[in-house]
């Protein structure tokens, strides 16, 4: 029973932190998509796509961290690993795919794949910029 409650608590916090962490990327992606599409896009679907992207990203990066054995700071060795680089590229591909498939424009057309790629690139660049400024 304690293992079940621990797993349930871990799943609850995973979803809660992912939903909090998806707000800023959703706002950035929504702004980029409005700019590239020249048409309003639906924000709640943008948030849903960013939430699913965040959930998948946390799973992938945590899986690599567990596989590499770098669960505690310093994370320099984890950041230098090729497995993490591959997972980050896969994460960007997943993000572009989710944005492209889940976000409609207000005129009922799907956004273009290039717009989804641009939104993912901007979100990733902002995230790397913030991470770089925080780590030194």
Does residue 136 surpass a pLDDT of 80?
A: no
For residues 126 and 132, give the distance between their C-alpha atoms in angstroms, rounded to a whole number: 10
Give the chain's count of helices (H) and strands (E).
Answer: 6, 0
Residue-wise pLDDT tens digits, 42-70 = 999 999 999 999 999 999 999 999 999 88
Tell me what the pLDDT averaged over the chain comes to.
Answer: 92
For residues 111 and 41, give the distance between their C-alpha atoms in angstroms, rounded to a whole number: 8
Contact 62, 70 (CB under 8 A): no
Contacts of 114 (CB under 8 A, 6+ apart): 36
In the chain, where are the structural domains located?
Answer: 2-135
pTM summary value: 0.90
């Amino acid at each position: 029973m304690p293992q079940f409650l621990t797993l349930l608590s871990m799943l609850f916090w995973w979803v809660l932190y992912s939903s909090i962490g998806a707000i800023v990327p959703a706002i950035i992606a929504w702004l980029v998509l409005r700019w590239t599409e020249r048409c309003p896009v639906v924000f709640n679907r943008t948030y849903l796509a960013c939430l699913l992207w965040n959930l998948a990203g946390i799973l992938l990066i945590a899986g690599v961290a567990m596989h590499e054995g770098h669960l505690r700071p310093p994370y320099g060795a984890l950041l230098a690993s090729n497995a993490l680089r591959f997972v980050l590229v896969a994460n960007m591909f997943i993000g572009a795919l989710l944005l492209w498939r889940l976000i409609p424009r207000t005129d009922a057309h799907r956004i273009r794949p290039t717009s989804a790629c641009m939104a993912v690139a901007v979100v990733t660049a902002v995230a790397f910029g913030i991470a770089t400024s925080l780590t030194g």
